[in-house]
Amino acid sequence: MRHGLRAARRVGSWAAVALILTAATPAGAPFTPKVQSAAREIRDRALSDDTAYETLRSLTTEVGPRSAGSEGDRRAVAWALARLRTLGFQNVHSEPVKVRHWVRGEARAEIVTPWPQRLVAVALGGSVATPASGIEAEVVPVTNLTELKGMKADQVSGRIVFFTRRMLRTHDGSGYSTAVAERSRGAAEAAKLGARAVVIRSAGTSTSRIAHTGGMRYEKDGVKVPALALSNTDADMVEHQLALGVVRLRLFNTSQMADSEMSANVIGEFPGRGARDQIVLLGAHLDSWDLGTGANDDGAGVAIVTSAARLAGREGTRRTLRVVLYADEEFGGEGSDNYVKVHGGEIAHTVACTESDLGAFPIWGMASRVPMDRIVSARALHAVIEPMGIPYIGNQADGGSDVDTLGHLGVPVFDFKTDASPYFDLHHTIDDTFDHVDPKSLRENVAAYAMLAYLVAATDVDFGRIIWTR
């Protein structure tokens, strides 16, 4: 996941909404005892089903890293087509998507003075290269973008800006929503004041000496300076030396943008038997960053939504269950844009959407985003899921980066919120690997998504159209 955590900052207001609505909770009218019973059977089946785990093992072992436009990305598309067919999906196909392609090279960072030390660093996704001889300059520590904006050019010019903000570890990912600003826009803003390069303390919480990558953007006509992330350990090292005097860093980076490449959204369905044109969309993204094998981000999502749709779809549902494995969530978002372009005509009868893109960690809450007069239906749906130990946390679901575009076009959104504390230890690092996925939590995620998918697809409940206000 890239930055789909905007709504997470509003947990306070969700709680208030939830409180007001408690009195209005209906008796579960739209969901008959038969449907509820079938949903529970699907849940129980999910909790003893290793399909998701084996799907994830296959993706991470046989494909591995798959950043947009890379050879791994092409292998992932072929893998996904084959996997969906094997899992019993119908109408399995790919839809070509042109994606931005950035190629990581080598990145090195070291302290030159006062005490030479090598640092663990990675280039941020999108960063330009340094000159071949590298960049050596004095470091100017800056807490965050706000502080940078109060600085004058002579404090920054010719120097390397070091953003020191430390990401907070929070269960809802709100620490990331805040810290990602310097990663995304730090280089563009620092360049305006004449900085030669930017290094950030990783926008991540790993306590191991590994750095977190992630996307960054330059301004269209702005000056482009290299941007690297240091591991938290190495950010400490620079701060320890800064406490004792002037620090000079040497940076070297060979990453660069390349020509755009073709990738694809991969789509599969369990077609509805009564209202085939009504779509329940389950999304995840197929691409990953290149450092790990994209196990939690977002191989887990791929494994969860495919297994959930399969478990729900094999029962035979009234509406169509559609899984969309999006291209390039991490860097460009073109997969999401492309889906809306190609499927514009279907959006009016896409009855609900959801995305799994926060890893296979324990779920602590379910959110909806439906019109106010349909919250009773959302809560009735949640009431069937609630015995999994998942509370309803309000009506401000955001849906993740990919289905976000659908939400903005009126499609009702459901979220399951997973524990972001361990997620951001792994996120965008070499540690995002299969061994960091807990099979039990993965199965619980499959069960929750399978219940959601089934309850919407097996019924004719209408969640209306939402008007997105932000």
67: nearest Cα among 2, 128, 131: 2
Residue type, 154: D
Residue 242 CB, nearest approach to a copy of itself (Å): 10
The binding track of 185-224 with respect to a copy of itself, each residue x by CB under 8 A or -, is ---------------------xxxxx--------------
Q: Is 435 helix (H, G, I), strand (E, B) or coil?
A: helix
Cβ(123)–Cβ(105) under 8 Å? yes
Per-residue burial over 100-117, b = 16 or more CB atoms within 10 Å of its CB, e = otherwise:
bbbebeebbbbbeeeeee
The amino acid occupying position 134 is G
CA distances from 3 to 371, 404, 437 (A): 24, 11, 21
- The CB-of-437 to a copy of itself minimum distance in angstroms stands at 12
Is the Cβ of residue 63 or residue 323 nearer to a copy of itself in the bound state? 63
Q: What is the rounded CA–CA span in Å between residue 334 and residue 326?
A: 9
* Residue 47 φ/ψ, nearest 5 degrees: -75, -10
In whole angstroms, the minimum distance from the beta carbon of 450 to a copy of itself comes to 26
The residue among 39 and 247 lying less far from a copy of itself, judged by its C-beta, is 247
1 CB burial (10 A radius; 0-12, 13-18, 19+): buried
Draw the binding track, 412-431, toward a copy of itself (x: CB under 8 A; -: no contact).
Answer: -----------------xxx
Count of CB atoms situated within 10 Å of the CB of 355: 35
Nearer to a copy of itself, 122 or 225 (CB): 122
| Positions of E strands within 186-255 | 197-201, 227-230, 248-253
For the bound state, the minimum distance from the C-beta of residue 426 to a copy of itself, rounded and expressed in Å, comes to 9
280 and 321 Cβ atoms separated by less than 8 Å: yes
Measure CA 283 to chain center.
11
- Report the residue from 176, 339, 434, 454 that binds a copy of itself according to the rule CB under 8 A: 434
Question: Binding to a copy of itself (CB under 8 A): which residues in 332-371?
Answer: none
Q: Is 224 helix (H, G, I), strand (E, B) or coil?
A: coil
Q: State the virtual CA torsion across 193, 198, 203, 207 in degrees, nearest 10.
A: -140
Q: Which of 82, 93, 115, 147 binds a copy of itself (CB under 8 A)?
A: 115
List beta partners, residue 248: 113, 138
Q: CA 73 → CA 79, 99, 152, 326, 431, distances in Å?
A: 10, 11, 43, 11, 19
Binding residues for a copy of itself, total number by CB under 8 A: 33
Pairing mode, strands 107-113 and 117-119: antiparallel
Stretch that binds a copy of itself, among 236-244, 312-320, 364-372, 415-423 (CB under 8 A): 236-244
- Residue 233 CB, shortest distance to a copy of itself, in Å, is 5
Whole-number minimum distance, CB 121 to a copy of itself, in Å? 12
- The CB-of-139 to a copy of itself minimum distance in angstroms stands at 15
Active site residue 334: no
- What's the closest the beta carbon of residue 207 comes to a copy of itself, in angstroms? 7
| Site pattern 370..409 for a copy of itself (x: CB under 8 A) | ----------------------------------------
Q: Is residue 296 at the binding interface for a copy of itself, with CB under 8 A as the rule? A: no
Tell me which residues in 274-293 interact with a copy of itself (CB under 8 A).
292-293
Q: Which entry of 182, 189, 269, 329 is annotated as an active-site residue?
A: 329
Between residue 28 and residue 87, which ones bind a copy of itself under the rule CB under 8 A?
Answer: 57, 61-65
| Contact between residue 87 and residue 313 where contact means Cβ atoms under 8 Å apart | no
Question: CB burial class (10 A; 0-12, 13-18, 19+) of residue 154?
Answer: exposed
Out of 120, 124, 227, 311, name the contact with a copy of itself by CB under 8 A.
Answer: 120
| Among positions 401, 433, 441, 459, the unique one binding a copy of itself when judged by CB under 8 A | 433
**In 214-356, alpha helices (H):** 232-242, 300-313, 334-342
Tell me: does residue 233 bind a copy of itself (CB under 8 A): yes
| Length of the chain in terms of residues written | 470
Site mask for a copy of itself (CB under 8 A), range 240-279, x = bound: xx--x-----------------------------------
Residue 136 interacting with a copy of itself (CB under 8 A): no
Q: Which of 91, 117, 143, 146 binds a copy of itself (CB under 8 A)?
A: 117
Residues of this chain that interact with a copy of itself (CB under 8 A) are 57, 61-65, 114-118, 120, 206-210, 232-233, 236-237, 240-241, 244, 292-293, 429-431, 433-436
Catalytic sites, residue numbers: 329
